[in-house]
Amino acid sequence: MFRDDFRIQDYLRIIKKRQWVIITFLTIVVISVTISSFLRAPVYKSTARILIEKETPNVLSFKEVLALDTADTDYYQTQYTILKSRTLARAVLEKLGMMEQARQDDDSSFSVRGLLTSLITALGLRQPPSESAQIRAREEDAINNFLNNIITIEPIKGSRLVDVSALSTNPELATQIANTLVEVYIQQNLEAKLAASKDAVGWLADQLTIAQQKVADSETALQQYKEQHGIISFEDRQNIIMQKLSELNTAVNNARIKRIAIETQYKQIQEYLALDDTAPTTEAVKKLETISQVINNPLIQQLKVELSNLETELSELRKKFRSKHPNVIALRSQIASVRERIDAEIQRIIGSITNEYELALAQEQEMTTALEDQKREALNLNQKAIAYGVLQRDVESNKRVYDALLQRTKETSVTEQLETSNIRIIDRATVPNYAIAPRKKLNIFLSMVVGLVLGTLLAFFFEYIDNSIKTPDDIKQYLDIPFLGFIPKVSSADQDNMAVPKPKLHPVDTVVAVAPKSTASEAYRSLRTNVMFSSLEHGPIILVTSAGPTEGKSITVANLGITMAQSGSKTLIIDCDLRKPRMHKIFNLSDHERGLTDMIANLGTNGTKITVKRTKIPNLDLIPCGNTPPNPSELLSSERTRLLIQALSKKYDKILIDSPPVNVVTDPVILSQIVSGIIVIIRAGETGRDVIRRALDQLRDVKAQILGGVLNGVDVQRDNYYYYSYYNNYYYHEKEDADEDAQSIGGKVQKMLQTKLTSPQKKDS
């Protein structure tokens, strides 16, 4: 799977790694498309152009008869659908004779459906279809092929033009199909209009008869209503009633105003008279004299002047005579007479006002009663007017419908004879001179693009399903262990440049010794440095193992031991793979019968010294496996094995132990308890994540000290951009003398090892 921090270098590495997948897929696609393009029959395209005018059809619907507009926004889309309709396709095929040919052709057995039908029939699962069913199936196939593979409809944007095209391997047939299609389309369009016009004329005639009967019925109902209510001229009568109602309303208002004006004086008089229930008192009389009609009365004014004069004269006489003097008595009598006349006149005025008020009140009530009667008559007339209006509007509405139907009937009858199609041919199809398909150059180019894209996707798919460890980042991310280094494959160039093999050394398995300046040798030296620094805090005993077989652990042990010996460290290699030992083959040891198993058995005797073998590499010793024991796990888990390795660790600077794979046997888990650290060898691009995780889990369960992982078998030439920085380091070191470099590194590491590991016991030994 892909990591979240995938870089462009990772994509390039995958492409180069899977380049043969991409090239193979690309080649297959290009060859297939090329062969198909050259073998495919040429296809010709012939196009006819037509103009479709949007029009208001003469064939009218019921809503159009009632003068209601209809929306026709989908008109053109409807026409395009008609051009691709099965009915039109069948008519064209019939006219060209292609439908009859399809009925007679019996090639269904070569189609997929024909083969399935034949197989099902042969197995007895279904009865064979009848001849008529087979003919119908051929007709449907011909129509489907015509609509899906032959005809194309292309509206020209921004115009009412439509291109009708036909495809065929025969250019003349393509032209004939395109022209026939537009001709049949125009003919069917015109026939549909004529048929609709005829239907419309008949429908309008029926509706006209119905409308005429409705007019007669509504007029009869109106006349009967007028006779029933005695209405001759409904409008004149209504005007008279409304005029009289207006006059009565005005009279009522005037009578009310008059009554209100008299009522004020009347109520004032009644209020003054109410001061004394028996007779008006002097105070009441004085208040009555303040009434405007009393004040403005000429007689009262004259009498008051006369009264004033008499009272003045009386006042003068009383100064001269006593009250019983005849002149005084006479003058008093005259004054009383004048006052009586004033009171009489006031009473007359009061009576007049009372009579006038009562008359005004009676007139107002009479006018109000007459107004109410007139209102009731007006309301009754309005009710009759409503019913009359309904009947009259019904008559008028029916007449309008009748007139409209009559007009449309005449128009439709005329236009039926003048009907023309709104579709016409602008350009007829012509015989094409060039084929439109196959476009060989374009097909080949597109096949290259598609093949390259799909091949790349396929390569990434293979990479996606590849569950192996491929890069140092995979070790860090998926295994959670340090990355110690990678070992490249030994290239053919490195093999050609190898020196003459040293005696008793395998040329390829000991590449550090026979080709010290090769890329692989530099990788082993880099690994040596990383291992030395990683093991400083743990000890000199290092176990090298792997998850499964053929990971390259034995070769790694051999070359790592050689580099350590070249650096000046006294190194010992122990072959603890008691089931499939290989170290004696790598170093070409002939006397390998005695080895580790014998040392364990003879621990404490002189046989131990005899078992340690000297190699041709200075500072490098080897303990081969020896005789294969029947119980390797029990032997390695014994106390003798632990004591032996501890004893050897006091005599050597570094001890490398080659063990079997972890997932195969339990030997590495047992040995992990007596070593200082473990190096796990991982075959790049082959070892699965789950496999190596299972091995690491076994080691972690016993709390083994894992120094890190080594990625073995890396194809540096293929993944050179990914390992560019590593390769540059190797290339730089190739310019230096290998022995000199080894001595320098070995000296530094040796000094650190001595400081860290040297003990008084070792010095004494």
Instruction: State how far the alpha carbon of 708 is from the alpha carbons of 556, 577, 661, 711, in Å.
Output: 14, 21, 16, 10
Domain locations along the chain:
234-417, 467-756
Which of 190-199, 244-253, 560-569, 603-612 is least confident? 603-612
Question: 234: which residues sit within 8 A by CB, 6+ positions away?
Answer: 226, 384, 385, 388
Range 234-417: architecture per CATH: Orthogonal Bundle (1.10)
Q: Which residues of 576-611 are buried (b: 16+ CB within 10 A; e: fewer)?
A: bbbeebbbbebbbbeebebbbbbbbebbeeeebeeb
Whether pTM > 0.75 for this model: the answer is no
Least confident residue range of 353-362, 558-567, 696-705: 353-362
Decide if pLDDT at 705 tops 70: yes
- List all residues 6 or more positions away from 272 whose beta carbon is below 8 Å from its beta carbon: 280, 284, 287, 288
What is the rounded CA–CA span in Å between residue 738 and residue 512?
Answer: 10
The confidence score (pLDDT) of residue 128 equals 67
Span 48-94, pLDDT tens digits: 999 998 865 554 444 554 433 444 558 889 999 999 999 999 999 99
Q: Predicted confidence band at 754 (pLDDT cuts at 50, 70, 90)?
A: very low
Q: State the DSSP string of 496-509.
A: HTPPPPPTT--TTT
Residue 584: pLDDT over 50: yes
Q: Is the peptide bond before 549 cis (omega within 30 degrees of 0)?
A: no
Residue bearing the bigger pLDDT, 121 or 260: 260
Helix/strand/coil for 390: helix
What pLDDT is attached to residue 572?
96
Dist CA 631 CA 431 (whole Å):
91
Residues 284-290 have a mean pLDDT of 63
Measured CA to CA, the distance from residue 482 to residue 485 in angstroms comes to 9
Helix (H) or strand (E) holding 409: helix 326-417
Q: What is the b/e burial string over 22-42, where b = at least 16 CB atoms within 10 angstroms of the residue's CB?
A: beebbeebbeebeeebeeeee
Phi, psi (deg, nearest 5) at residue 350: -60, -45
**The pLDDT of residue 333 is above 70:** yes
Residue 655 has pLDDT above 50, yes or no: yes
Q: How far apart are CA 311 and CA 355, in angstroms?
A: 35
Spacing of C-alpha 176 from chain mean position: 46
717: CB partners within 8 A, 6+ apart: 491
Buried (b) or exposed (e) across 731-757, using 16+ Cβ within 10 A? Answer: eebeeeebeebbeebbeebbeebeeeb
Residue 396 pLDDT: 82
Tell me how far apart the terminal alpha carbons of the chain are, to the nearest angstrom: 54
Element holding 219 (H helix, E strand): helix 171-228
Contact indicator for 331, 317 with CB cutoff of 8 Å: yes
pLDDT of residue 744: 39
Judge whether residue 672 has pLDDT over 90: yes
Type and span of the H or E element at 178? helix 171-228
What's the CATH number of domain 467-756, 3.30.70.100, 2.60.120.10, 3.40.50.300, 3.30.420.40?
3.40.50.300
> In terms of DSSP bridges, do strands 44-52 and 423-427 run parallel, antiparallel, or are they unpaired?
antiparallel
Is a pLDDT exceeding 80 seen at residue 280? no
Residue 675, pLDDT > 90, answer yes
User: What element of type H or E holds 705?
Assistant: none
Average pLDDT over residues 149-156: 93
Query: Encoding tokens for residue 609?
Result: 């010294």
Give the range among 186-200, 236-250, 349-363 with minimum mean pLDDT: 236-250
24, 130, 442, 640 from 445: Cα distances, Å: 17, 49, 5, 73
| Confidence band of 763 (pLDDT split at 50, 70, 90) | very low
Angstrom CA distances, 287 to 263, 276, 282, 355, stand at: 17, 13, 9, 20
Best-predicted range by mean pLDDT (199-208, 288-297, 411-420, 644-653): 644-653
Sign of the CA dihedral 520, 525, 526, 530? positive
pLDDT digits 0-9 by tens, 361-373? 887 778 788 777 7
Whole-number Å distance between alpha carbons of 334 and 309 = 11
Provide the mean pLDDT of the chain.
79
The mean pLDDT of 682-690, rounded to a whole number, is 91
Tokens of 659: 């063990």
Q: DSSP assignment, residue 359?
A: H
3-state SS, 584-642, equals HHHCCCCCCCCCHHHHHHCCCCCHHHHHCEECCCCCEEEECCCCCCCCHHHHHCCHHHH
Angle subtended by helix axes 19-39 and 8-17, to nearest 10: 60
Looking at per-residue pLDDT, the higher value among 436 and 120 belongs to: 436
What are 556's two structure tokens? 């790694």
Q: Tell me how far CA of residue 361 lies from CA of 265, 271, 349, 355, in angstroms.
A: 14, 19, 18, 10
Q: What type of residue is 669? A: V
pLDDT in tens, 493-528: 555 555 544 444 555 678 888 888 888 899 999 999
Of the candidate ranges 28-42, 681-695, 732-746, the one whose mean pLDDT is the lowest: 732-746
